[in-house]
Structure 1
Amino acid sequence: MSSLPPTEATKPLTSALTTLNPRQRLENTLAQLAPTNAQIKNTDKDEREISAGELIEPIQRINEAMRPRGLEFELSEETSRVITRVIDRESGDVIRQIPTEEVLKIAERLEAMQGQIISLEA
């Protein structure tokens, strides 16, 4: 199979690629693919906060589908965090919970302390 000679349009591209080492080519490619700050700001505007109320119905549907497999999901009212539990299907005992009760208590205390720190600085 014979190679075609480079056209006038591809000569600069070919010569530029051959002069760059593999690391430089990778960096150039990544720089071209990386989003600009303006693009990032625009995606932030498109996203919106989802309220806890909007999550209740989807979590209920997921629970209906996953409960037979031993998984259960709950939305914590205090922290609005999703709690996942692995349940023993025969006994109903909790095998594992993510995040654990201890982690949830620590998070509550940290949030309370954060409010105190802010009020002390003011």
Structure 2
Amino acid sequence: MALEAINEIKKAEEKAEELIQEAMNNSKEIVKNASIQAEEEYSKTLSEANSKKAQIIAKAEDEGNSEAKPILEKGEKEVASIKNISEEKKNNAINLIVERIVKIHGNS
């Protein structure tokens, strides 16, 4: 009878050890899966953030280009009008500058 009780206690201890080992294995698996899931969520969040960043940058560039376009066009028109000054106006401007230089230096 005592021997049976000892054997039952040994079996119960072995069963308890198996349960403990199984619980430890399960906990390791749970931690591993949680880590994998966390990494996947992090990657997904990072990817979404990068996508949103790219959209914001593209929108800002488009808005900047839209605002700059009329300014650039106006500048190009001004450059073209300066380049298209008639020869007569150029000669008048040259003569005016020469006259002023001569008057300043007293070589009239």
Question: Comparing both chains, which one has the higher relative contact order based on Cα–Cα distances under 8 Å and sequence gaps of 6 or more?
Answer: 1
**Fold conserved (TM > 0.5)?**
no
Higher strand share: 1
Asked which structure has the greater CA Rg, the reply is 2
The TM-score, its normalising length taken from structure 1, stands at 0.24
The TM-score, its normalising length taken from structure 2, stands at 0.26
